[in-house]
Structure 1
Amino acid sequence: GNLVVALPVAMLLARGVLVGSGGPVVEPDYARYMLADLHPWRSGSVIYAMVAGVLLFAAGLVSGWVDNLLLHRGVPARVEHHPMAVRAFGSSGAARLAATMERTLGVVVGNVLLGFGLGSMGTIGEILGLPLDIRHIAFASAQFGTALDVLDYRVAPGVVAVTALGVALIGLLNFLVSFGLSLAVALESRRVTFGETRELVAHLLGRLWRRPLDWFFPPREPAPEG
């Protein structure tokens, strides 16, 4: 989803800036640097994609913690019956506000913190004197699309292919790191043993081989195994 949306939108915005202002959004030399910055083995994009995966995992933890805190403290029910909320929005409005809070507040908080983390990681690295940065599939896709448009798509096919591979690896590592850490926490919370973990991984890989589309479009009903 990030790739499908960010890439064409970045191309359109870059072209819009060129048409509207008469100049490119960045200089051609910097556009070439933007492509090189996504190279899968001549840049730090692979490592930085893993850092972004850790931040995605942390944002998920925060979202879950906020959701659990709301339910544990009964916050939605309090909002629904709070006199000020009822006076301001009416009984039905207060109920909708409480339901919206219960459904979305955790996600909003997690996404806000994720945005701060992704946006500040490079600055944190400079402050600490460490080579810290992030590569997220949405940002990488937009970077790729912007650079291509600024260079008027006059880029060697080999460069396009290698950069596209870098973007794909960034997305894959974002997913694998965040999903792997989330799965590890879930298994630990269930006290799953190492042997059981191996069986689960084997089952998941088998499902991926037999029904790969289920990973992207989960079926409404459990599919029969075999």
Structure 2
Amino acid sequence: MLYFVHTAIFVGGFLAALNYSFSFILIQLTGFTLATKQPAMTAPALAAKMHKVRDPEALEKLVDEIVHLMRSQFVAVLGNIMAVVPTMAVLALGWYFAFGSHVVDADKAHYQLHSLSILGPTPFYAAFTGILLWLSSVAAGWVDNWFVYHRLNSAISHNRRMTFVFGESGAKKIGLFFRKNISGFAGNISLGIFLGFIPAIATFLGLPIDVRHVTLSSGGLTGSMVSLGLEAFKTWEFWLAVIGILVCGFLNVLVAFSMSMFVAIRARKIKTPERELIYRALRERLRAHPLSFFYPRDRAAEVNLITKN
């Protein structure tokens, strides 16, 4: 609905931030996952396995952990696209049959395809969005630590007003609810603010900065294609946008994960020789089992064998 609301730049950014934040929280509360969003524990999980990188067995476990995390992110990207594309198509078609007009007009649809093209600034915007995804995970971790440090779970559970209104068991459930979800709330709200406000601020300042998130871009592309019709599938404009979205997903994941890994390395004070061991082990895994980044290792080995034969 925000598409039809014409407001000042900052008001539009604020509304977009609210829309994104609410949508991301809804995804969280319904048990789904937003693709490319780094969990708050990514960096700590990596740091925990970096204590003995000179030990071959420990290094192997670290590489396994990195591969597992990367694979989960790529699977989340695929799952998001598979969910968003048909959902957006149904909504766009439903809107058309209900109101006799497309959600996205033809001019906006062509602009959307052009903006997602791999030949444009999409890779740069996608990498920048990866940094924002990482920053949201930092915010999530900080708020989670703050919540635990100040024992807010206990404070909510034993608050007089809370126990008076909701009862002791109700107050305890509310405390546990926030303890379980506060990290996700912080990450989703901060990400929504980043994705909504930063383009508005950049436009106001005249900076060539925008965001490209694979899930949101997939929805935008689908809405545009419903508007343009089947003939648009035969155009290079569409296929360049598809490639742009695939690259967008890859860079969203790669940059966000790389930032988390950088934090883990700095936290463990890993020196250059040990870093080289990690990078070399990752390169060897990528060379020997490239599909393990997308399939579990046994399954990847089977696929590699089938491919060779």
TM-score bracket for the superposition, by shorter chain length? 0.7 to 0.9
Deviation, structure 1 residue 15 = 0.8
Matched, 1:25 2:103: yes
- Trace 1:98-137 onto structure 2 (pairs within 5 A): 98-137=175-214
Q: Could you say if the C-alpha distance between residues 90 and 203 of structure 1 is closer, same or farther in structure 2, counting changes exceeding 3 Å?
A: farther
CA change 1:157–1:126 in 2 (3 A) is closer
Q: How far, CA to CA, are the matches of 2:275 and 2:88 in structure 1?
A: 41
Following superposition of structure 1 onto structure 2, how do residues 144-163 of structure 1 map, counting pairs within 5 Å? 144-155=221-232, 156=234, 158-163=236-241
TM-score normalized by structure 2? 0.65
Cα RMSD after superposing both structures? 2.2
1:115 Cα deviation from its structure 2 partner: 0.7
CA distance, structure 1, for counterparts of residue 90 and residue 297 of structure 2: 32
* 1:66-85 pair list within 5 angstroms: 66-85=143-162
Q: 1:55 to 1:216 in 2, by over 3 A?
A: farther
- 1:210 aligns with 289
AA of the residue aligned to 2:111: Y
Give unpaired runs (5+ residues) of structure 2. Answer: 1-78, 299-309
Q: What percent identity do the matched residue pairs reach?
A: 28
Q: Deviations over 1:109-146 (max 9, x none)?
A: 22112111101222111222211111111111011111
Contact kept, 8 Å, 2:214 with 2:245, in 1: the verdict is yes
Distance 2:134 2:255 in 1: 8
* Structure 1 residues 172-221: Cα deviation after superposition (integer angstroms, max 9, x where no partner): 111111111111011101111122222223334545553845767799xx
Q: Distance in 2 between matches of 1:183 and 1:106?
A: 19
Which runs of no fewer than 5 residues in structure 1 stay unpaired? 220-226
**Residues 129 and 160 (structure 1 numbering): CA distance in 2 closer, same or farther, change over 3 Å?**
closer
Contact 1:148 1:154 in 2 (8 A): no
> Using a 3 Å threshold, how does the CA distance of structure 1 residues 207 and 86 change in structure 2: closer, same or farther?
farther
The amino acid of 2:202's aligned partner reads G
1:13 positional shift: 1.4
Q: Give 1:153 deviation, angstroms.
A: 2.1
Match of 2:253 in 1: 175
Instruction: Give the Cα separation in 2 of the matches to 1:64 and 1:215.
Output: 27
